[in-house]
């Protein structure tokens, strides 16, 4: 299966647009062992999500044991669920070539977040993996995103528009194999609506739901495609740390993921109308 096919099947199978970010913070985890913590979260939520998204930095910070924990976590996730490595790669060609090999060949992730700042040639090594997802940072959820992403620039078509729109239009052109999506923060629903208008068929990975204050109703209303999907709504802290107790953290994570899934589905078209 391609990333898009696996994602669509997971959305259908679990009736879910929820992605759980597997971001183990030693200061917040209910148990100290990263693999044991992730295993409990995965087992508690695997029937409620459309994807998982480990953030590389949380594992890298733990040194070699953290990288080993990432590899073991990848192996724990059921094969029918797509796994996105959130590493925001994108460097000169040869570096990107090896970054792509690491993510897709060595670790077998289904998708990867990438940074478009260096331009098309820096992303070509990722785009060449036609069966894997390439999720391009477009308008991020952090307050400082406006420092650059909202700047007015003149695109190749001679039209002045915000930089994030220029990125989106470029990504739309790069999407020749249907494997390119956008990363769009939940904290900026107006920009999300604009991007859906520009890229009606592309998948959006949407961080910032929950702990960062993204407004769920606005995100779902503006972000869904005409099929009632096209969104991967990521929640990390809200699910992972719903309880800090070693006795019930997995049960609390399941309850949080279930609430989020049901809240999203209440805002989606009914299955018969999609």
Catalytic (active-site) positions: 88
Give Cα 34 distance to the centre of its chain. Answer: 21
Left if phi > 0, otherwise alpha if psi is -120 to 50, otherwise beta: which for 218? alpha
Phi/psi at 65 (5° precision):
-60, -35
Nearest Cα to Cα of residue 136 among 198, 89, 101: 89
Main-chain dihedrals φ then ψ at residue 201, nearest 5 degrees:
-105, -5
How are strands ordered across the β-sheet holding 204-206? 51-52, 18-20, 231-235, 204-206, 180-184, 133-139, 111-114, 84-89
For residues 137 and 7, give the distance between their C-alpha atoms in angstroms, rounded to a whole number.
Answer: 19
């Amino acid at each position: 299966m391609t990333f898009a096919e696996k994602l669509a099947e997971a959305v259908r199978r679990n009736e879910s647009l929820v992605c759980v970010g597997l971001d183990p913070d030693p200061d917040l985890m209910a148990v100290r062992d990263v693999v044991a913590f992730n295993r409990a979260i995965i087992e508690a939520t695997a029937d409620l999500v459309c994807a998982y998204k480990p953030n590389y930095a949380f594992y890298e910070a733990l040194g070699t044991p953290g990288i080993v924990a990432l590899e073991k976590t990848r192996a724990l996730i059921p094969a029918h669920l797509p796994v996105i490595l959130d590493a925001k790669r994108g460097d000169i060609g040869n570096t990107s070539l090896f970054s792509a090999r690491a993510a897709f060949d060595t670790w077998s992730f289904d998708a990867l977040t990438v940074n478009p700042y260096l331009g098309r040639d820096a992303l070509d090594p990722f785009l060449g993996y036609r069966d894997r997802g390439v999720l391009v940072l477009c308008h991020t959820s952090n307050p400082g995103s406006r420092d650059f992403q909202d700047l007015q620039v003149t695109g190749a078509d001679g039209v002045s528009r915000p930089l994030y729109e220029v990125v989106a239009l470029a990504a739309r052109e790069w999407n020749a194999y249907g494997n390119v999506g956008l990363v769009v923060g939940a904290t900026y629903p107006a920009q999300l609506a604009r991007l859906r208008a520009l890229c009606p068929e592309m998948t959006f990975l949407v961080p910032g739901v929950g702990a960062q204050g993204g407004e769920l109703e606005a995100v779902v209303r503006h972000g869904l495609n005409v099929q009632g999907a096209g969104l991967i709504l990521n929640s990390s802290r809200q699910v992972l740390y719903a309880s800090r107790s070693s006795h019930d953290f997995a049960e609390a994570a399941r309850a949080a993921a279930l609430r989020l899934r049901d809240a999203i589905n209440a805002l989606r078209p009914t299955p018969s109308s999609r």
